[in-house]
Each structure stands twice: as C-alpha cells, then as structure tokens.
Structure 1
Amino acid sequence: MSSKSDRRSIRTKKELKDNLIALLSTGRIIESISVKELADLADISRSTFYLHYSDIYDLLDDIENDFFDEFRSVFDGFHPEELTESPLPRIDGMLAFAAKNSRLVLSLADNQIDMSFSRKIKNIAHGICFDSWSQLYPVSDRTKYEYFFSFIFSGCIDLILTWLRGGIKESRQYMSDLLETFIMDGASVLRS
C-alpha cells in the first residue's frame, strides 16, 4: 500500500469516527445509525466503509480502543511515590484528556451505549491506582482498598461528567485541586 493510500485510509477512518461521535453526541442510539447514513456523512461509498469496518459496532470498538490507548498514556511513567507528594499532575492530565474527548465521553456515558465502557475505564484505573495505594498504605485488609477505590472512582467519574455536562466552565486547575483534595482526604481512611 502506498503512503498516499495509507493517508487516505487514515483520513477515511478519522472521518467515519468523527461522524459517528457527532451522531452519538446528538443523543442518537447506536442501533439507529446505519452504515449508509454514516457513509453518506463521510462522503464515501458503503463499500469503502466495509473496507475498513465490518459494521457500526466494529467502528465503535475502534473508537473505544483509541480512547483507551490514549487514556492509558495519561498514566505512562506513573510511579506510586508521586501520590505521596501530589496526584495533581495525573489528575490534571486526566481532566485534559476528558475535556479533549468530551463529546465521546459524554456520548458513551450518557447514552449507555456500551456498559462495558465504564467497566473498562474502571479496570484500567484500578490497575493503576489500586496497586499504588496498597504500596503507599499497606494494610492487611484488602477489602478496605476495594471499598476506597470504588468510592473514589465513582466520585471522580461523576465529578468529571458533571464538569463536562456543565460546559467545562471551571478551570482544569480548579477541578484538579478539588479532585486532589477529595482523593487525599479520602485516603485518610487507609491510614487508620
């Protein structure tokens, strides 16, 4: 495949992804979106769509995979010791990521398109955070960590969604400080 074909393929996939996200962000449910409609919006033929994806759900999977790869990269190079000083840089990175992807985040969260979406986010965050907290605050009761993580994770996700739904009016700095306070104050339960 030539580099021109590669660029065209990348551009077509991006156009399809952007159009699907745009449709979902209007409140449309995935089941109501046809390949024909999406192909028309992207100004391509249905056969071109099928060169890249088997169906709309395959396209949605590709969008989600891109999302999760980028979400994981927010935590690249993360070390648990950072939490003792301040989780602020990671929180700010997470908020920047959420703001950048707000249409997709809100579409997937508000439309409940894929219940596994929130589970995937939780699993990624769990893998990063749970091990970090248990290294910093060693206790014999692993159940306490699970409760703490569930509480903090749910609160963080709802707080971020509320911020996005409100039009991102408060600064990332304000939201980062708020989240950091909630997390660090909540962590006191692990010290007892």
Structure 2
Amino acid sequence: MLDQIENKLAEDFLDILSHYPSLLEESNVYPLLVEVFSFIKLNEGMMRVVFCENRSPVFLDHLKSSVKQRYFGDWKRIHFVKAPFEVDYFFSYFISGCIGLITLWLETEMKETPQQLAKLTERMILNGNHAI
C-alpha cells in the first residue's frame, strides 16, 4: 500500500517538474518551488511518512534521480563544464539541502507558507550563503 502511495506521489511530483523545462532560467525557480511546496503541504500526511518517519530511500532516490536527469544533465552539456564531477557534487549538495529544508519544514509543523519557503529556497539556490 505504501508503495502505491509513494508511486502516486512521485508521479504527481514529476508532473509538476514537467511544467518547468529548465532551472537555468531564474524566472522558473520561484514558481516551481511554490508549486513543489504547495504540493507537499497538500499531501502533508504522506510527506511526513516519506520524509520524516519512514525516510523511504526508494522514493527519495527516485525523486533525486528524476530531478538530476531533468535539470542537471542538460546543464552540464549546455555550459560545457570542464569538470563534470563538480556538477555531480553540486547536485548532491543542492538536493540534500532541499530534502533537509522539506524535512525541517514538516518537522516544525509547516509554520511558513509554501510561498515563504519557496522564496527562501530560491534565495539559497541563487545566492548561496548570501541568502541569509
């Protein structure tokens, strides 16, 4: 049963990603994040199970690989990265940070709105440690 729910969540999440073909355009970052955080809030109960209680590695690995395939493969090619391993490290840093943000948000009763968390996340993605 949990597998079916995780598969449906993953399918819905991938549908959200399909609306944003690139994160290379800064204008796509905030709307994508609002939609992702709104989706998480809408599915709060199951997201708590997946991110906080169960920490389903299959589900999280599926999400990680989907995001990486969708956004970071083309990024390497488009920017002619001289050291492709750096993109892999950046992706690991990026996705682990996003999972950490989601987990903390869920664990702290989602006090911030999806828009507030999306704005903070956007600043972190685009500005690194200058975001705070």
Q: Could you say which residue in structure 1 is the equivalent of 2:118?
A: 176
Aligned-residue offset at 1:115: 2.2
Aligned to 2:45, which of 103, 118, 128?
Answer: 103
User: Structure 1 115/82 Cα, relative in aligned 2: closer, same or farther at 3 Å?
Assistant: closer
1:2-151 alignment to 2 at 5 Å?
A: 59-80=1-22, 83-112=25-54, 114-134=56-76, 137-151=79-93
Bigger RCO of structures 1 and 2 (CA < 8 A, at least 6 apart)? 2
User: Structure 1 81/65 Cα, relative in aligned 2: closer, same or farther at 3 Å?
Assistant: closer
TM-score (norm 2): 0.85
Aligned-residue offset at 1:175: 0.8
Aligned-residue offset at 1:85: 3.1
Max radius of gyration: which structure?
A: 1
Alpha carbon RMSD of aligned pairs, Å?
A: 1.9
Superimposed CA distance per residue, residues 34-81 of structure 1 (whole angstroms, 9 cap, x where no aligned partner): xxxxxxxxxxxxxxxxxxxxxxxxx22211111111010111232226
Greater than 4 Å deviation, 4+ residue runs: none
1: CA distance, partners of 2:4 / 2:42: 18
Unaligned runs of 5+ in 1: 1-58, 187-192
2: CA distance, partners of 1:137 / 1:167: 39
Alignment length (residue pairs): 128
TM-score (norm 1): 0.60
Does structure 1 conserve the Cα–Cα contact (< 8 Å) formed by 2:16 and 2:36? yes
1: CA distance, partners of 2:24 / 2:94: 18
